[in-house]
Each structure stands twice: as structure tokens, then as C-alpha cells.
Amino acid sequence: MRISVFGLGYVGCVSAACLASMGHEVVGVDVNPAKVDLINDGHTPIVEERIGELVAQVAQEGMLRATTDAAGAVTDTELSLVCVGTPSAPNGSLSTTYLERVAEQIGRSLRPGHVVVFRSTMLPGTCAELLVPILELSSGLRAGMDFGVAVNPEFLREGTSVRDFFAPPKTVIGESDPVTGDVVAGLYEGLPGDVFRVPIAVAEMTKYVDNAFHALKIGFANEMGAICQALGLDSHHVMEVFLADRKLNISSAYLRPGFAFGGSCLPKDLRGLVYAARKADVSIPLLSHVLPANEAHLQRAFDLITAPGKRRIGMFGLSFKPGTDDLRESPLVELAERLLGKGYDLRIYDANVSLSRLVGVNRAYIAERLPHLGDVLGNSVEEVLDHAEVCVVGCADPPVLDALGRAGDRLIVDLVRIPDAEHHRGRKDYTGIGW
């Protein structure tokens, strides 16, 4: 395929050279003539492992050249790959100046059948709401009909970007239409890793999720290192044990949006660790804000439930997680306490919770937090459903899911993502807490 790559920085230069090495005819486009001259002379404008040899090879073979002529590059190619920067503005917002400029340049030379692929990092909605209108206005053509648009985020780390290109962790293609998606997927044919064909906004968001989590992991590891050092421990020994757990720690466990966490361990142990760090005079702003973040998520659920202005609330689930009657620090108990405190008419059903069976610290906890639990605890799903104007789904027990099918026009606030949540999304009588 004949490809034009806009922007010859780290992402653009690596993408251009690697695609050329795979047999594509590539022309790089940049406003900086010095970069253009370097590429045409077989030299790289960036310092990166293996890139020097790769650029020299593909330039000599005639598979890669560079130009400052954007119009000519678009006219001579079938697909344009946009790799320009999106730096932060002074207020932290995303600067789309370069993206807008390139979209207009491409649009002026766009012909039917051309495919425009954005690799630049941009927030969800940027492509559809900003860049596509610029392309359509400057070209007089329609996206998804006359030309294709895709978002194809890169997952290249500086220092190993060539290796990462040829061995990606995944390939994500946000497509305007299936034909365009097929064209973009063809660019990476033969490379390892899963390929995800998704809506454009999902592809835009994917890169932010990845980078935010990477930053979170680094911050977490560094704060743990500071605590360990203050306590006289070697943090690397501690983290070796942590990393060995591939079931709960380095895995997909817990990485699903849902309701707030609770129970007898997580809140207590976080408080204990934060206290130990404070006592050792160690600043850990990240860990110190985990519990406040959890509290904010619980408040988010309360706001969703109370927003419609209905007074009769039915809550399904009370224990801190399915399959147990443990109510200690359950976020659902906290939620029930807030609703009752604000005067809402609440009924609760949890198949695992019976007031007569609660014993020990579990009974003591609920006696302190919800002393009138017996007055609001329903005997059946149907009893709570009949009472409710708003159904709060805090568990996914089969009888509860069956009852929701008979909820009629009652508002459903889903805290667990019921199995058919995707079917309900967008309906006025359904709200998911994070989807």
C-alpha cells in the first residue's frame, strides 16, 4: 500500500520506517525541512534503538522518502497516517492545533476512497466532533461514505519503539466503517497480539486508560518503596512476592468498573498503611487518596439513586460482596444508611442476610450502622420489587435478575453490571454506575 505519514517525530518516524520495511511505499511529511532532508539522505531525525539502520535500509531501497509537500503526499497515496503531537496547553487541556492543521491539509487534497488514520493521542470525541468535520468541510466529501476515517493509537515506548511496533501488546482500530477497518488491519497483518475493532471513541480512550494505569503503577510502586525504606525493608524483595501473584495482583482481577470496595480487609488495611506512613513521616499522596476516591464513588451511586426524586427505594444486595453475609464496611450498608438518613423509604433484600443469623462482630457492626435493619429487610425479591420506584441492583443473584425483567417502568440503578447491561444502556429507565 502507498502510505503518507504526517509528522516525523518518534511515533511518525518509527511507524514510517517499520511500515516501509514491511513492503509498503511510504512518504513521510513534515514541516521541518531538516527532518525531511535527513530521511531522504537515509538518516534518522530521532535517537532510538534500531531506527538508524532501518531508515538507512528502507531509504536506500526506495521504500521510504520524505517531503514538505502535504498535498502531493496525499495525492500520491491511498492512506494517510497522522502522527503529529498533541501537547498539553498551559491549563492542562489537550492542544489539537497540529491535528487541526494536518486535517485541513489532508482534506484539501482528499479523493474518494482515501483512508485517514489518526495515531495521535486525543481525547474521546476529538475525531468525530473536531477532525472529521474539518476533513469533510475542506474536502466536500463524507466520512464513512466517500473516505474512511480510523483511530489507531500507538503503544510504543521510547527506547524500544521499533521492537514494540513489531511485537505490539495489542492493536486497536477505531473505525468509521468495516471497510476502513479492514484496510487498517491489513497494515499490521502478520504481527502478533490481539486486534480490537472498536468504535472510534473507544479507541481514543484506550490510550488514556493505558497511560493512566502505567502512571498509577509507577506511583504505587514508588510510594511502597518509600514506606518500605522507612520501615527498614527492601522494597524490591517485597515487590518480588507481590508480582509473583498472577491470580489477583498482576491480572484482570478487580479491573472492572463497578461499585465501591468494602469488607473487613481493604478499608482497614489501607487506613493502617496510611497511618504507618504518617507515623514514619512519609508522604504518600496516592495511597492517602484511595479511600477518599472510594467515598466519592459511593456518593456517585447515591446521587444516581436520588436524582429522579423518587422516594421509595428497593435495594437488592447488602453484604460487601456476593456469596457472603459479611456486612462489615459494606458500601451497600453505607449507601442504605445514607438513604435512610435522608428520609427515603427503603426496602432491602439479600438472600444471604438474615437478622437472626448475624452473630459476633458482624451483628455488632450492623447494630451500630443500621440499628433498624429488621424494619427495612424484605422477605423476598417480589416484596422489595413491589415497594420500589427505584431498584438498586447490588447483586446479580438469579432471582433478582428474573425480577428485574418484571420491573416495568421502574428506574434501575445498576451497581454490578447485569448480564444484559449492554442492551439496557441508553434507556431512560436504566442507569449503570460506570458504563
44: left (phi over 0), alpha (psi -120 to 50) or beta: beta
Say whether 358 sits in a helix, a strand or coil.
coil
Residue 121 in marked binding region: yes
Q: Are 167 and 145 in contact (CB under 8 A)?
A: no
pLDDT at 286: 96
258 marked as part of a ligand binding site: yes
In whole angstroms, give the CA distance from residue 270 to residue 93.
Answer: 32
Rg of the chain over Cα atoms, rounded to whole angstroms, equals 27
pLDDT tens digits for 113-158? 999 999 999 999 999 999 999 999 999 999 999 999 999 999 999 9
Of the given ranges (97-106, 195-204, 263-272), which has the lowest mean pLDDT?
263-272
Q: Give the list of residues 6+ apart from residue 53 with CB closer than 8 angstroms, or none.
A: none
CA distances to 321, 350, 363, 377 from 356, rounded to whole Å, are: 20, 13, 9, 12
Backbone angles phi, psi at 345, to 5 degrees: -85, 100
Q: Maximum CA pair distance of the chain?
A: 83
Q: What pLDDT band is residue 90 in, cutting at 50, 70 and 90?
A: confident
Average pLDDT estimate for 298-305: 97
Task: Give catalytic status of residue 228 as yes or no.
Answer: no
Q: Is 268 known as a binding-site position?
A: yes
Candidate list 18, 127, 265, 391, residue with the active-site label: 265
Tens-digit pLDDT profile for residues 158-192 = 989 999 999 999 999 999 999 999 999 999 999 99
Report percent pLDDT > 70 for the chain: 100
Amino acid at 70: A
Q: Determine whether the annotation assigns residue 129 to a binding site.
A: no
Sole residue written with cell 478487580 = 254
DSSP one-letter code for 131: I
157 is in an annotated binding site: yes
Is 291 labelled a binding residue? no
The grid coordinates of residue 232 equal: 527498614
Percent of the chain with pLDDT over 90: 85
Residue 256 in marked binding region: yes
Contact 100, 131 (CB under 8 A): yes
Q: Is 262 annotated as a binding residue?
A: yes
**254 labeled binding residue:** yes
37 is in an annotated binding site: no
Distance CA 330, CA 94 (A): 39
What pTM did the predictor assign? 0.89
Query: Is 125 part of any known ligand binding site?
Result: no
From the centroid of its chain, how far is CA 242?
24
Tell me whether residue 310 is annotated as binding: no
Please determine, for residue 89, whether its predicted confidence score (pLDDT) is greater than 90.
no
| Model confidence at 356: pLDDT above 70 | no
Q: Is the pLDDT of residue 316 over 70?
A: yes
| 323: confidence class by pLDDT, cuts 50, 70, 90 | confident
Query: Model confidence over 38-79: pLDDT tens digits?
Result: 999 999 999 999 999 999 999 999 999 999 999 999 999 999
Digit-coded pLDDT (tens) for 267-288: 999 999 999 999 999 999 999 9
The overall average pLDDT reported for the chain is: 94
Q: What DSSP designation does 342 have?
A: T
Residue 355 has pLDDT above 80, yes or no: no
pLDDT of residue 247: 97
What is the full DSSP assignment across 364-418?
HHHHHH-TTHHHHB-SSHHHHHHH-SEEEE----HHHHHHHTT-TT-EEEESS--
What is the spatial distance between Cα 121 and Cα 204, in angstroms, rounded to a whole number?
7
Distance CA(308)–CA(326), nearest Å, equals: 31
